[in-house]
Amino acid sequence: MKDPILIEEIIKLVLALLFGAIIGAEREYKSKAAGFRTVILITVGSTLFTIVSNFMGADGRVASNIVTGIGFLGAGAIFREGVNVKGLTTATTIWISAAIGMAIGIGKYDFALAALIIVMLVLLSFTWIQKKIERTNKVETYRITIDDNKTTNKDALKDIFISCDLVAKCTKQMKDHNTQTFIYSVQGPAKNHSNLIKILFNTEFIASFES
């Protein structure tokens, strides 16, 4: 006779694999750092640790260590690209995948399913809301270097933002010989950002820029 407890724990692992595969497929489709196999292993691993914790009677100590370990994994998914920070959504997806795995591990299947539905709703269905927001109000960081430190050039740079109907705030300023570098936080519609980039490319006194 098969052990019913063993069967239930195996079902938990299979369910964790399935839930992790659903989330991981969306991440893999968007070519994110934590893709299909990674998210599956995170979900299954969290479930397994929770099952072991139940057998050990660890009173949540193992579960708290799972959260700590997942925090390190999530931090590894965050990186800087130019002047912007990337990977925050991937890091939080790793975190919530582990939480779903832990819910499965303690047998809260309905709770885990509800969390899965919410996660997929955010990752898939809410994308159009984000794009709509960005069309009307998008915040970008620009690193702009001008050829010299003439006041006229700095004023001309401000005029460029105004002409594109963008609100720009200088957050950092650096000087190096005959150049000055400015870090700007720029806010406005996405199409205005596109116009700004075209103008920056064609402005002679701008030595370089990145966004």
Dihedrals phi, psi of 82, to nearest 5 degrees: 70, -120
Query: Contact, 43 vs 32, CB < 8 A?
Result: no
The mean pLDDT value of the chain amounts to 83
> For residue 97, what pLDDT is reported?
92
> For residue 102, what pLDDT is reported?
92
Average pLDDT for 76-104: 79
Q: How far is CA 160 from CA 50, 56, 134, 140, in A?
A: 56, 64, 20, 15
> For residue 7, what pLDDT is reported?
87
What pLDDT digit, counting tens, does each position of 143-170 carry?
988 887 666 777 888 889 989 998 888 8
Q: Which sequence spans correspond to the domains of the chain?
A: 4-125, 136-210
Average pLDDT for 51-58: 77
Dihedrals phi, psi of 128, to nearest 5 degrees: -65, -30
pLDDT at residue 16 is higher than 60: yes
Average pLDDT for 169-174: 87
pTM: 0.67
What pLDDT digit, counting tens, does each position of 195-206 carry?
999 999 888 888
Q: What percent of the chain has pLDDT over 90?
A: 23
For residue 177, the Cα-to-chain-centroid distance in whole angstroms is: 37
> For residue 151, what pLDDT is reported?
60
Average pLDDT for 80-90: 68
* CATH fourth-level superfamily of 136-210: ACT domain (3.30.70.260)
CA distance 153 to 115: 53
